[in-house]
Structure 1
Amino acid sequence: MSSSQNETDLDALRDHFGREMCRLRQRAALSRNQLAAALGCTPQWLYTLEKTDKTVPEQMAFDLDTYFKTEGWENDDGLFHRIYGAIRRAGQHRVMRPSFESYVQYEAKAISVRCFATQVVPGLLQTEGYARGVMDPNEPLDIQEARVVGRMERQAILTREKPPMLMFIIDESVLRRPIGGAKVMVDQIDHLIGMTESPCVQVRIMLFERITSVALGGGFILLSFEKDADLIYAESGRLSQLLEDRDTVFKAGVDFDTLMGEALSQAESIELLRRTREVYL
């Protein structure tokens, strides 16, 4: 689906949400002031939602379903929440790079993920606070929110019945970069330490002083599958690519093994994480 089509769908869904809210309000013979009082918000806020000028909050969808008792509201699956879900999905398509959208689909099917991260904590390991911290503040809030939600939803592969094997090599600079501030970094480092308790997760730190040409080449992610060929995903600035060329993927696998040999062991990495955590307290 093209970017312009996604934007059209998103705008249409927001319009649908606003029109349904207006329709049910008028059918109940309620003024905007009366409905706002019942929902605990301002009439101006309802006006902006009816005119599709604002991002639709999930709680508002729940509140409208509960108030109007739309079909399925008892199971958190009422009319407004269903529209909200469609808006969120359309928003995620809108904000994803085409190659990353494809990557996410493959990631969900992978039996192993090998990631070398040089700039930020890998998305599969990010806390919500950290994910918000890496968002571009110049982007509209709805786009930022869609990206955060999408990132958190990707992490469902960590708790599925048969999670993939996950190996992360994180450059030490990532830990020293105070994304979101001290509190966010403490929470993020705690989360990294906690993730290492899973038998399916390895987290290794690449020290500053361990200079290798492979590490200077930038981050990448390798996906392996039960039957299909491996894939490599790489980003540079605003560019991204998903590759399946056998030679390229093979060389990336060799590079990852080299990086694993240069990085700290998991036990040493946990100790470094704990020491780094103290710096942010």
Structure 2
Amino acid sequence: MAGDQQDPDALRVHFGLELRRTRLLAKLSQNELAKALGCTPQWICQLERADKTVSEQTALDLDTYFKTDGWDQNEGHFHRIHQSIRRAGRHRVLRPGFQTYLRYESKAIGIRCFAAQIVPGLLQIEDYARGIMDRTEPADTLDARVASRMERQAIFTRDKPVMMTFVLDESTLRRPVGGPQVMVDQIEHLLRVSRSPYVQVLIMPFERITTEALAGDMILLSFDDEPDLVYVESGNIGYLIEDKDEVFMTGVYFNRTMGEALSQTESDELMRQAQETYL
């Protein structure tokens, strides 16, 4: 049963069974419930058979109609199941190894990141995030990935600020992900984030080359009372590195890369110049 609770399909079936049980206890037909909710009987039937994706609004409407426990605080029975479906769906679509990384990222007091190809997830706006995803995948999968990425950014508003340094290769500004307007908005977001006293967004210009930067993306996490960790990706798999020597050398590589990057003022200017090319 524990395994089922991590399976979004099993949870959708559970939602449908609970909807049917609640409807029958209320002595309602599918037609009567559909009329009350302003939808079609076919929609109710598909929800009960788990043939339809459960939207958050549908869950809230059902809680409100049936006055389930917690409905007045958006914590009703159907909304809780919907949240479980949503969480399980994100677990399914995340890159292997990344779920483990996220548990550490949420506890970090310091994050150092080098991005060689695209703007890193913590700095992406929603349209940019969608622009780098495979559009042949199901809409639910893409929505789950985007939602997961946006939720990670709550780290910027934590009560205890996280010190973050991002070094982005200039190519991240020049690659027109999502089209001109998306890039204008994305670069504007980078400029806004870089104004935080806790965040640096530095650019590595094309004319500066370091061996370390050519090695690819890297993320280093620092903690209050635990050793630093490194996260890297290879193909479709993500890896956390705990070996002290490797973590130390990755820190050295990052510092060298950061040393070759533009200053914050110079980086802001280059970002503005790149932004203008999309206007």
TM-score, normalised to structure 1, is 0.92
Q: Distance between the aligned counterparts of 1:86 and 1:147, measured in 2?
A: 15
Task: Give the 5 Å matches for 1:233-272.
Answer: 233-272=231-270
User: Which range moves more in the overlay, 36-45 or 194-203?
Assistant: 36-45
User: Which range moves more in the overlay, 75-84 or 150-159?
Assistant: 150-159
Q: Distance between the aligned counterparts of 1:167 and 1:26, measured in 2?
A: 56
Q: Distance between the aligned counterparts of 2:161 and 2:103, measured in 1?
A: 15
Contact map agreement 1:7 1:94 (CA 8 A) in 2 = no
Contact map agreement 1:130 1:179 (CA 8 A) in 2 = yes
CA offset at residue 29 of structure 1? 4.1
Task: Give the 5 Å matches for 1:219-238.
Answer: 219-238=217-236
User: Which range moves more in the overlay, 174-183 or 223-232?
Assistant: 174-183
Contact map agreement 1:134 1:179 (CA 8 A) in 2 = yes
The percent of aligned pairs where both chains have the same amino acid is 61
CA offset at residue 22 of structure 1? 2.2
Query: Structure 1 272/38 Cα, relative in aligned 2: closer, same or farther at 3 Å?
Result: farther
Contact map agreement 2:12 2:50 (CA 8 A) in 1 = yes
Q: Distance between the aligned counterparts of 1:33 and 1:133, measured in 2?
A: 41
Helix, strand or coil at the partner of 1:86: helix
2:45 to 36, 41, 47: 47
Q: Which residue of 2 aligns with 1:190?
A: 188
Amino acid at match of 1:240: G
User: Which range moves more in the overlay, 35-44 or 47-56?
Assistant: 35-44
Q: Which residue of 1 aligns with 2:20?
A: 22
Unaligned runs of 5+ in 2: none
Helix, strand or coil at the partner of 2:245: helix
CA offset at residue 136 of structure 1? 1.9
Q: Distance between the aligned counterparts of 1:250 and 1:208, measured in 2?
A: 27
Q: Distance between the aligned counterparts of 2:21 and 2:5, measured in 1?
A: 24
Contact map agreement 1:6 1:93 (CA 8 A) in 2 = no
Q: Which residue of 1 aligns with 2:273?
A: 275
Helix, strand or coil at the partner of 1:214: helix
Contact map agreement 1:6 1:90 (CA 8 A) in 2 = no
Q: Distance between the aligned counterparts of 1:261 and 1:255, measured in 2?
A: 10
User: RMSD of the alignment, in Å?
Assistant: 1.9
Contact map agreement 1:111 1:226 (CA 8 A) in 2 = yes
User: Which range moves more in the overlay, 51-60 or 259-268?
Assistant: 51-60
Amino acid at match of 1:232: V
Unaligned runs of 5+ in 1: none
CA offset at residue 46 of structure 1? 3.1
The total of aligned residue pairs comes to: 278
Task: Give the 5 Å matches for 1:1-281.
Answer: 5=3, 9-281=7-279
Contact map agreement 1:6 1:94 (CA 8 A) in 2 = no
After the TM superposition, list the runs of 4 or more consecutive aligned residues in structure 1 that deviate by more than 6 angstroms: none
TM-score, normalised to structure 2, is 0.92
User: Which range moves more in the overlay, 142-151 or 196-205?
Assistant: 142-151
Could you give the per-residue CA deviations for residues 76-103 of structure 1, whole angstroms, max 9, x where no partner exists? 1011110011111111222223421111
Contact map agreement 1:115 1:221 (CA 8 A) in 2 = yes
User: Which range moves more in the overlay, 15-24 or 71-80?
Assistant: 15-24
Q: Distance between the aligned counterparts of 1:100 and 1:8, measured in 2?
A: 16
Q: Distance between the aligned counterparts of 1:220 and 1:254, measured in 2?
A: 12
CA offset at residue 8 of structure 1? 6.2
Amino acid at match of 1:234: V
User: Which range moves more in the overlay, 271-280 or 258-267?
Assistant: 271-280
Helix, strand or coil at the partner of 1:272: helix
